[in-house]
Amino acid sequence: MNTQNPTRLLLLEQGLRLCREKGLRGIKVRELAAAAGVNLGSFVYHFGNREQFLDELVELWYAPMFAAISRTTQAQEHQSAFARLQAVLEQIVTLAADNAALISHLLADALAGEPAAQRFALSLPGRHPKLLLELIATAQAEGDLQAAEPRHQLLFIMSTLGGPLLLAAGPLQSCHWLPPQAGPLIQKMADADAARQRLHWALQGIRALPPLAPQDGESHE
């Protein structure tokens, strides 16, 4: 986090705290300034307006994760595309599990029309999804994944991973009408190790199948 100005840093720290609790829609400038112990003039001086603040806030949260994912991809260039894909996805599982509540809020914010969340969502295709699609396409070319539309395979993988994590951290948190028996399943949905198991199953499901060996009595022509 940029520490070049203590007041700016404090506002961003409080903004991240509020975002984790309430999402972007829940961040009100007056409440934010009060939590940081600064006046509204200081907020305007450092960020101009709420929209600019939210854009910087989301980027401050996302940029280090994207940089870490990029480093993982580059550090394993000597390995196959499938091995790199698996390593990056395992890293994403950890990041998603650690940030599931915030990600769930951002998704709900975007669907509810929060402009900053929508701008962030529209910025993503050229970032970590692009890296994943490139790895999938290369893994297909290397014969390690079944031939298919890379975006379709990525959708399958991410829905397997992200769906349960985000549901458990978001909508299911307020479903108090569910019976007690649902508790263990929700805990499993939110568990990072369980997500890694789902990742393993998903990747095995799209691995390229070896050619079938001829059966006894079949022609070997």
SS (H, E, C) the chain: CCCCCHHHHHHHHHHHHHHHHHCHHHCCHHHHHHHHCCCHHHHHHHHCCHHHHHHHHHHHHHHHHHHHHHHHHHHCCCCCHHHHHHHHHHHHHHHHHHCHHHHHHHHHHHHHCCHHHHHHHHHHHHCHHHHHHHHHHHHHHCCCECCCCHHHHHHHHHHHHHHHHHHHHCHHHHCCCCCCCHHHHHHHHHCHHHHHHHHHHHHHHHECCCCCCCCCCCCCC
pTM as predicted? 0.87
pLDDT of residue 218: 52
Domain ranges, ordered by start, for the chain: 62-206
Residue 176 has pLDDT above 90, yes or no: no
Residue 172 has pLDDT above 90, yes or no: no
Q: Are 20 and 105 in contact (CB under 8 A)?
A: yes
- CA distance linking residue 85 with residue 76, whole number of Å: 10
Residue 1 has pLDDT above 60, yes or no: no
pLDDT of residue 63: 97
> Which one is predicted more confidently, 209 or 98?
98
- pLDDT tens-digit series, residues 68-117: 999 999 888 889 999 999 999 999 999 999 999 999 999 999 999 999 99
Residue 220 has pLDDT above 80, yes or no: no
pLDDT of residue 2: 45
Q: How much is the mean pLDDT over the chain?
A: 91
pLDDT band, very low/low/confident/very high, at 20 (cuts 50, 70, 90): very high
Residue 10 has pLDDT above 80, yes or no: yes
- pLDDT tens-digit series, residues 28-62: 999 999 999 999 999 999 999 999 999 999 999 99
By CB atoms closer than 10 A (0-12, 13-18, 19+), residue 212 is exposed
Residue 170 has pLDDT above 90, yes or no: no
- pLDDT tens-digit series, residues 125-153: 999 999 999 999 999 999 999 999 999 99
Q: Which residues contact 163 (CB under 8 A, 6 or more apart)?
A: none
Q: At what angle do helices 40-47 and 6-22 cross, to 10 degrees?
A: 100
| Arithmetic mean of pLDDT, 186-193 | 91
